[in-house]
Amino acid sequence: MVVTCYCRGVLGILGRAILGNARNIAFWVVLFLLVVTLFNLFSGSGSTLQSRERTYSEFVTAVENGQVSRVTLDGEQVRFTTSDNQSYTTIKPGDAEVTQMLIDNNIPVRAEKQQQSGFQSLLLTFLPFLLLIGVWIYFMNRMQGGGKGGAMGFGKSKAKMLTEKHGRVTFDDVAGIDEAKEELEEIVEFLRNPQKFSRLGGKIPKGALLVGPPGTGKTLLARAIAGEAGVPFFTISGSDFVEMFVGVGASRVRDMFEQAKKNAPCIVFIDEIDAVGRHRGAGYGGGNDEREQTLNQLLVEMDGFEANEGVIILAATNRKDVLDPALLRPGRFDRNVTVGNPDIKGREKILGVHARKTPLGADVDLRIIARGTPGFSGADLANLVNEAALMAARVGRRFVTMEDFESAKDKVMMGAERRSMVLTADQKEKTAYHEAGHALVGLRLPECDPVYKATIIPRGGALGMVVSLPEMDRLNWHKDECEQKLAMTMAGKAAEIIKYGEGHVSNGPAGDIQQASQLARAMVLRWGMSDKVGNIDYAEAHEGYSGNTGGFSVSANTKELIEDEVKRFIEEAYQTAYRILVENKDEWERLAQGLLEYETLTGDEIKRVMNGEPPQADDDAGDDADTGAPSITAIPKAKPKKTPPDGDMEPEPSA
């Protein structure tokens, strides 16, 4: 049954395409014939004018002087040939007796029919009107359904039908989001075997809404459903509905559902539905009338008086909070499927999917890579595998090694190295002490995430960077963890003040201050971690939220109390970082000098340098003692960088 419906839908689409093409071909054939007729008509009349013209008096004089050898009469036109075999033309007056004059002078006369027939005269008279009528019919045909891509096809749906030639994706290509995949697999099973559910009174879900952060695989899931279901699959973006013309969006919604009903059972996927499904009446001026009209039509088509049997709506968004409540109710979107970032097991499976066509070296362990990429989405992991392959190809390897994955991870997380950037010795030294302060405080506070890597090589927009990675996926934050993270964040500014004094603080801590302010405000305004402010969510009111839900005013005293608490959290964190750096000044100095010498140090190397040891032990093979697998921080051994006499950093090629 499904195969029959699918074939019927494909044949219907092919038939409509052929009919549309036939109309276009007929139009251009008629236009071509008209052009050819006009060309022949004017070229024929023009050929008669190729001979030279003479006045009628000159013609009479030539006849009387015996200079004309023969004459051809064509209506009012007289073509004559002189004795020297030259051809001329003239126009006779209406009352002239040309024929009698020629006979009297013994000149041969030949009469011809006029070249311009009655049909040609009629055609020349009515041709402009015929062309205008033809153009009008053509555009009316386009407006009434003659084509979607024409200049007047505003109201036609832009939904595209996916077929296997576009690259078939199945559930085997989706990993790391097992719960979401299971819910959507049930929809596919319903399309394949509806009797399994209908005999128990179950009905096919009318719609499923995929919600999750960007890059988690919502569109990939929809493509997998298209590949597995074996039914027509239409895809469209929410922004394709709304245009500058009033009523176009609603017309496109109607046309899309008409196409879907003709091909039922089928699936319609609307990507980024928040572009058309936003809360009605929100925003300045009461909202956008055209968008709201489009949304109203979508609501009616999904669940109105006329049921759309066999049409399943899939939609994806990362802004569920802005969607209209009427769009989210059961009967329209029966299922809300959350597609979140994968855990460590999910990341390992996703890496395996993306690495299928990538030749991997013997030292590559995908589980170790997954353990070192917490918070990565599916798109981030796909980008990581691709960057590793590009780095391996850049140096001419035949397979991708663990070193390539480490370099690719550093590039994705910290940005590309800017070794061509010239830094003075003073700038390098300040950056080294700044980053050493971050790393030391992070190592001394037990609730901070382990330090993964510290570098003073400019990456992205930063002159240096310290990256911390959690040992496990972090699902929530505790107050003591937030306070210690604040201390690690403010350690860079504390380090600069201790080393150079308050009068020589640079703008380097600007990013640290911004991060600390965001975290402290979240602790006070949203998470209830301030005893003075209490367990009240002040975030919306403090940020000037003007929506219809949750907006309220806050007194001046409360605002002052909030800012005092935010300042207190940051100040206490700064004092903690200052105290730790003073108490561990020798280790901090050694770490800063180590960064100046080696430029980049991993977590284990940082600990060795702080203890006065070389970054790499002689017997360190870079393998985990527990598993025998390469360490997540295994990179080529750090090598000291030479600084030229003028103090500028001399970039060296990476290994």
Residues acting as catalytic residues? 435
The torsion angles phi and psi of 623, rounded to 5 degrees, stand at -110, 155
Give the C-alpha separation, 252 to 254, whole Å. Answer: 5
212 marked as binding residue: yes
434 is in an annotated binding site: yes
Q: Give the span between the Cα atoms of 479 and 527, in whole angstroms.
A: 9
Question: At 379, is the secondary structure helix, strand, or coil?
Answer: helix
In 212-338, the DSSP E strands lie at 233-237, 266-271, 311-317, 335-338
Q: Tell me: is residue 615 an annotated ligand-binding position.
A: no
Structure token pair of residue 203: 């009905």
Q: What are phi and psi of 278, to 5 degrees?
A: -65, 160
Q: Are 630 and 622 in contact (CB under 8 A)?
A: yes
Residue 429 CB coordination number (10 Å): 19
Per the annotation, does 331 bind a ligand? Answer: no
Find tokens 């014939």 and name the residue.
33
How buried is residue 164: exposed, middle or buried, by Cβ count under 10 Å (0-12/13-18/19+)?
A: exposed
Is 612 annotated among the ligand-binding residues? no
Amino acid at 40: N
Distance CA 278, CA 292 (A): 8
The answer to whether 442 is annotated as binding is: no
The sign one gets for the Cα dihedral 280, 284, 289, 290 is: negative
Place of tokens 């802004």: 319
The annotation status of 216 as a binding-site residue, yes or no, is yes
217 is an annotated ligand-binding site residue? yes
For the chain, what is the total number of helices (H) and then of strands (E)? 21, 14
- Is 218 annotated as belonging to a binding site? yes
623 contact partners, CB below 8 Å, separation of at least 6: 629, 630, 631, 634
Q: Is 80 exposed, middle or buried (0-12, 13-18, 19+ CB in 10 A)?
A: buried
CB 331 within 8 A of CB 287: no
DSSP H helical ranges for 341-417: 344-354, 366-371, 378-394, 402-414
Report the distance separating Cα 415 and Cα 464, nearest Å. Answer: 11
Among candidate residues 559, 572, 410, the one with its CA nearest the CA of residue 486: 572
Nearest by Cα to 608 from 492, 443, 471, 494 = 443
Binding site, annotated residues: 212-219, 434, 438, 512
Binding site, annotated residues for Zn(2+): 434, 438, 512
Binding site, annotated residues for ATP: 212-219
